[in-house]
Amino acid sequence: MTTFLEQVKIAPSGRRCALLRGAALTRPPSAPTCPAVARRPRTRVQGVDLPTASDVEHAARTLRDVVGTSPLHPSPRLSAATGLDVWLKREDLHEVRSYKGRGAYNLVAGLSPEERERGVTCASAGNHAQGVAFACSRLGVRATIFLPRTTPRQKRARIAALGGPLVEVVVDGDTYDDADQQSRELARSTGAVVVPAFDDPRTIAGQGTVGLEVLDQLAALGRTPTAVVAPVGGGGLLAGLLTVLSERAPYVDVVGVEPAGAASMAAALAAGAPVELGAVDSFVDGAAVRRVGDWTHAVVAAHRPPLLAVPEGLVCVEMLDLYQSDGIIAEPAGALASAAIREHAVAAPGSTVVCVLSGGNNDVSRYAEVVERALVHEGLRHYFLVEFPQEPGALRMFLDDVLGPDDDIVLFEYVKRSNRETGPALVGIELQRPTDYAPLLERMGASGIRVQVVEPTSPLFRMVQ
């Protein structure tokens, strides 16, 4: 059986349109007919050509024997929950445990001999650094990778192991911006080539190979995708998918998903240009980008795909379900797409929808925070400032009169003060069901004890997460 790319290569010109648009596949009756497909003229941004579907196909040939094709697995859990035919594109199963090896390898492989001799550099605290290390070790190119001091030791060791002797890992600077500045200074002083994490046409083309694989894999199963849902950080993956699918399979909807606390692409589209967010929630670290790229924004702005924002708490709920129900370790950004379809209708019932599970580089130490955020999101864990009377039996009264039979205290911070009538305590309560919250508040009100709800937006809330 020929693959999608092989069909493109061998199809006579009279059949090329039908093959590219999937007419040979099992398609829903409502799928549009295929007009003539013309080669799209290149668009230039800052003097550089934006990628086309042909560039993505070239990248696929570059990557085929090195990066390999990631599996496409059905998700019975998400299919049952949504009424869709849901598939997970398992980018977490690459050697670098994310899709980032695609763009990094495609860029480094395309360097001239002179550029390779000068070496490359990048700054990253995660997946991009691993992708660059992987690419350079395979291509025999020297690399200097700058990491902020906040980078966990596990990730430092992983980057060094992937890169081997050709890759120097420099840990310095308090933030990613510090590391990025050092990387660019090295490039200026030595001529090393900077490998951007997302804002480069070669990177975009590499990431777009995910879309070609999806078409190929579903075609082999007699299916046609209605939508491909993907996480959005700097926009490289989304731009790559839009580039190839808009030309090769325009009947497929591409849906981008951002973390609610770092919706930088939505902000850029609203402003008409990339803007820097004043603050971001860094929990979904693989997609917590303050400013999207110029080239990624140009591609996304040209297509205006649907963009969804998912709260970080829902991401945590999905991470736990992926782990407990499906046996998949996903990083927060990797769970964005599948989290989104739990609450947003991205296609009609029964439609085939692919969620890109973009990565699985998650530290085990983070799961305590994941559980905490998930419980808060589901309305099962709440925090209060309770003004206890400074008298014997006050705590016993609170336990007897306020807590329900299934309520559990998970946090109690209290220091008794002898010179005050009341003393504040920070109390965390976990409920059996979300519907138990209203009765709990009623009992608190009837107790006569002053209670203040600690909202998730409160600075005090950060102490417990």
140: closest CA among 109, 114, 169?
109
Residue 461: per-residue pLDDT: 83
Give me the catalytic one of 75, 98, 100, 155: 100
Give CA–CA dist 296/223, Å, rounded: 29
Give me the catalytic one of 183, 264, 351, 358: 358
Give CA–CA dist 362/72, Å, rounded: 21
Establish whether 100 is a catalytic residue.
yes
Residue type, 60: A
Give CA–CA dist 143/187, Å, rounded: 11
Give the residue carrying structure tokens 């296609």. Answer: 347
Residue 46: per-residue pLDDT: 57
Residue 13: per-residue pLDDT: 30
Could you give the domains of the chain? 40-98+203-370 (3.40.50.1100), 101-194 (3.40.50.1100), 379-463 (3.30.70.260)
Residue 394: per-residue pLDDT: 82
Give CA–CA dist 148/176, Å, rounded: 6
Residue 73: beta bridge partners?
88
Residue 292: per-residue pLDDT: 95
Residue 8: per-residue pLDDT: 34
CA distances from 357 to 89, 90, 130, 286 (A): 6, 5, 17, 12
Residue 214: per-residue pLDDT: 99
Contacts of 305 (CB under 8 A, 6+ apart): 238, 242, 253, 254, 255, 256
Give CA–CA dist 132/105, Å, rounded: 7
Establish whether 9 is a catalytic residue.
no
Give CA–CA dist 292/233, Å, rounded: 7
Question: pTM for this structure?
Answer: 0.85
Residue 90: per-residue pLDDT: 99
Would you tell me the crossing angle of helices 312-326 and 336-343 to the nearest 10 degrees? 100
pLDDT tens by residue, the chain, 465 residues: 444 333 333 233 332 222 222 322 233 333 333 333 334 555 665 566 789 999 999 999 999 999 999 999 999 999 999 999 999 999 999 999 999 999 999 999 999 999 999 999 999 978 999 999 999 999 999 999 999 887 878 888 899 999 999 999 999 888 787 888 999 999 999 999 999 999 999 999 999 999 999 999 999 999 999 999 999 999 999 999 999 999 999 999 999 999 999 999 999 999 999 999 998 888 998 899 999 999 999 999 999 999 999 999 999 999 999 999 999 999 999 999 999 999 999 999 999 999 999 999 988 888 999 999 999 999 999 999 998 887 788 888 888 899 999 999 999 988 766 666 677 899 999 999 999 999 999 999 999 889 999 988 888 887 777
